[in-house]
Structure 1
């Protein structure tokens, strides 16, 4: 009979009791992952999703990655398709399955984000704390899980952060991050997060004396080559300037505003950072890598609404390590039953989504859908004064029409945005906006303050009204 090696067994002569949490803990991560897949299912309500499909269609037809916008009637800046890879996928899926296919992509992308966070945390913590952290990250991402290419950034941030934390442990350069960054740079404008995380970890390793100057310089080749790889995507070097195109108009974009401290998403992200900080204080050691990553995660969570979830994804593996340290137990690899449960749950969740999507997501969740026939009857090239939220819907559903505003805000001048806001709000001089943009028709929510003013002006005639929207035609 072999000698017992567990100290608890040697001390008591018997194996330690298995807690109820240990018995069922392995079931919880699959359960939370199912939530990632199933919770986002529903009609497509993100206005950006519609023009992303249009971008993919245009690219597939023309091969243009940088172009003068052919769709909007008032766009003034070059359109850089720096998210072209997922946009192509969205177009192909939409062409085959319609909006229900786009909704399925959202659920699949959300599940992949959850799985990436799960793998990052499970490597560093047991099943039960991993499930808890997965739930916190889901809350932090609640405002960002939409059918948009940003899902790629969330998933690859989890993968990249985990990879660099492994490099911190073993000192090995993970060169596969270079082609991953190339794919990332073809998918979303925030691809640079990966090289930045790498640089932060390398600096932390040097401060902790885990890496000499020479070793740190060798490791720094990975983020440097990753940035170089981004320069040779089909977009070319203009990829580096595209994020700055939005800089002048961020004040008009809700997701680039500072989030409220009482927002549940912010509280969840802060909770992850707090767990890492508490562990640092308890250990009383200069863990510079954790400190720097926690500061980065905190800054992302508090600075912009769009990056709250990103901060949570970066903080998640730090929080996993912290919880496992508090438990004072080594991390056991996921047992086969847990891995099987994760795979089966993911597959079944996607099957459910695939069956339900046509029924629950086949029609748009926004736009003047009741006016489809009337809008189809308008001459091709008709310029429409419209609500910004409906711009992408018009581009996709009625490609022959030319809206004057949509959520591609970076393509518009500040002057145009001011004029649009004044028009919708019926401010003094609102009449100049239709003249300036060349609108011959307007399709607007009946609740828009400008609609009663247009009705009463005598310059606009009601053509049709349905579903809370009205279509008007200039009398001239």
Structure 2
């Protein structure tokens, strides 16, 4: 392979990686959580409060804590300023930045072509999570942490600038816990391996860095209580949200992430590479995160991408190119150009129409708008975020912020949703006057056929029902 051909392939590969990120950033999406994050963001801007009694969840038993307050407030402010196109722009900013971070991490030990290929596959592996939610901040911050530690394992120097990164992360999303996990794993791998083991002074510095990153999370506006909130959410979410369950290996995103994790050791075998302890630890953590939970697949992909680039570099046929100032400028310029194009699309007609959820529910929307404030509505779980955003004066039986509700309430809702024995208990307890449910759901049919609920309006996939004289 000639030098010019290799260079052209590297440029083409990086363009493909950017194109993949651009597609995720500007494409249409169906994200149920976007709506309630906007509602919470608007509430934060109006009240400047991050915790307290929730104004919309009448059946909550826990006060609400806005653990994702920074991206929620920023997004709500931008939406007020420019419209829903701001959501597309922020999504594009995160997706394109993720491509660049993956490429930069891979380029530390691989050439342009291998790094570009790994970045493209890596961002594809992240694809299922690249929806407009505060978790986008987590993916970018996680990639920054992996980049920092991939440099540290090579030169032994602590990256103290990670401390403000973790403070920002703590204000944005709960996956900062996995940033601490990967930091601890890298540190342990360095110490265990005699080849990479730092001296006592440097080991103490690196351990101090990890401790400082953990401590700074407790110094956000929410204080030390923030340290426990990710576990509160996880305890309730697994029963209702599919993303908190084990990863289904039947989609291109999981296959891309797992494919990198499998291809890397195969390439090591072919090239007879003897991996360092930190490489084995990084690969093991990548595979573990990818398999254990659907929502963690992007983290697994971010860990796997630079390993893949390094592993396939000897198979490219050329030595790794140097990291020049010209290449740095080209990477930055291409990122800026792609973001500028995404900005134009977001500001145009594509931005306001990118959100496809909940679809064409005009008749249901209009009927809900006519209901008096305080009306209790038995709501579809997925639709509840939109209900909070569009009709905040109504009182849903449950919503997507599961950490607010008791396990008993969530279990009762699941029985009702599935029309299982005892399904009417929730109706007796909450006394909803209306229900907004998927038209084809078992619960919608049971309410009409068994209890005589009447159809008020139907729009898209949803139907608004009215109780005959009371809930059951």
Fold match (TM-score > 0.5): yes
Q: State the partner residue of 2:177.
A: 192
Residue of 208, 212, 222 corresponding to 1:221: 208
Residue of 256, 261, 270 corresponding to 2:258: 270
Give the Cα separation in 2 of the matches to 1:368 and 1:429. Answer: 31
Q: Deviations over 1:159-200 (max 9, x none)?
A: 111111211222221111111110011111011222322222
Q: State the partner residue of 1:466.
A: 459
Note closer, same or farther for the CA distance 1:42–1:289 as it changes in structure 2 (3 Å cut). closer
Q: Is the 8 A contact 2:16 2:120 kept in 1?
A: no
Greater mean alpha carbon deviation, residues 182-191 or residues 117-126: 117-126
Residue of 221, 226, 234 corresponding to 1:234: 221
1:111 is displaced (CA, Å) by 1.8
1:43 is displaced (CA, Å) by 4.8
Alignment: residue pair count: 461
Q: Secondary structure at the match of 1:385?
A: strand
Q: Secondary structure at the match of 1:361?
A: coil
- The residue correspondences of 1:23-102 to structure 2 (distance < 5 A) are 23-102=8-87
Give the Cα separation in 1 of the matches to 2:127 and 2:334. Answer: 24
Note closer, same or farther for the CA distance 1:120–1:38 as it changes in structure 2 (3 Å cut). same
> Please, which runs of 5 or more residues in structure 1 have no aligned partner?
1-15
RMSD: 2.4
1:122 is displaced (CA, Å) by 2.9
Q: Does 1:432 align with 2:420?
A: no
Q: State the partner residue of 1:11.
A: none
Q: State the partner residue of 1:332.
A: 322
> Please, which runs of 5 or more residues in structure 2 have no aligned partner?
none
Give the Cα separation in 1 of the matches to 2:451 and 2:431. Answer: 18
Q: Secondary structure at the match of 2:465?
A: strand
- The residue correspondences of 1:158-307 to structure 2 (distance < 5 A) are 158-209=143-194, 210=196, 211-249=198-236, 250-278=238-266, 280-281=268-269, 282-283=271-272, 285=274, 287-307=276-296
Q: State the partner residue of 1:7.
A: none
Give the Cα separation in 2 of the matches to 1:24 and 1:132. Answer: 10
Give the Cα separation in 2 of the matches to 1:314 and 1:237. Answer: 29
Q: Is the 8 A contact 2:57 2:395 kept in 1?
A: yes
TM-score, structure 2 as length reference: 0.90
Residue of 408, 417, 422 corresponding to 2:410: 417
Q: State the partner residue of 2:298.
A: 309
1:92 is displaced (CA, Å) by 0.9
Note closer, same or farther for the CA distance 1:198–1:431 as it changes in structure 2 (3 Å cut). closer
Note closer, same or farther for the CA distance 1:285–1:129 as it changes in structure 2 (3 Å cut). closer
Residue of 366, 371, 383 corresponding to 1:373: 366
Q: Deviations over 1:67-126 (max 9, x none)?
A: 232212322223221111111112112222333322332222222222222222233322
Greater mean alpha carbon deviation, residues 329-338 or residues 292-301: 329-338
Note closer, same or farther for the CA distance 1:333–1:238 as it changes in structure 2 (3 Å cut). same
Note closer, same or farther for the CA distance 1:361–1:342 as it changes in structure 2 (3 Å cut). closer
Q: Is the 8 A contact 1:100 1:357 kept in 2?
A: yes
Q: Deviations over 1:425-464 (max 9, x none)?
A: 3334433322211211111222122223322346533322
Greater mean alpha carbon deviation, residues 265-274 or residues 340-349: 340-349
Note closer, same or farther for the CA distance 1:26–1:443 as it changes in structure 2 (3 Å cut). same
Greater mean alpha carbon deviation, residues 254-263 or residues 295-304: 254-263
Q: Is the 8 A contact 1:51 1:395 kept in 2?
A: yes
Q: Deviations over 1:300-353 (max 9, x none)?
A: 011111111101101222222222244461332254474344442343243234
Q: Secondary structure at the match of 1:174?
A: coil
Q: Secondary structure at the match of 2:260?
A: helix
Q: Is the 8 A contact 1:386 1:443 kept in 2?
A: yes
Greater mean alpha carbon deviation, residues 203-212 or residues 373-382: 203-212
Q: Secondary structure at the match of 1:462?
A: strand
Q: Secondary structure at the match of 1:463?
A: strand
Q: Is the 8 A contact 1:276 1:322 kept in 2?
A: yes
Q: Is the 8 A contact 1:26 1:338 kept in 2?
A: no
Q: Does 1:156 align with 2:152?
A: no
Q: State the partner residue of 2:308.
A: 319
Bigger Rg over Cα: 1
1:222 is displaced (CA, Å) by 0.8
TM-score, structure 1 as length reference: 0.89
1:286 is displaced (CA, Å) by 5.6
Q: Is the 8 A contact 1:366 1:393 kept in 2?
A: no
Q: Is the 8 A contact 2:26 2:342 kept in 1?
A: no
1:31 is displaced (CA, Å) by 3.2
Give the Cα separation in 2 of the matches to 1:206 and 1:244. Answer: 29
Q: Is the 8 A contact 1:208 1:288 kept in 2?
A: yes
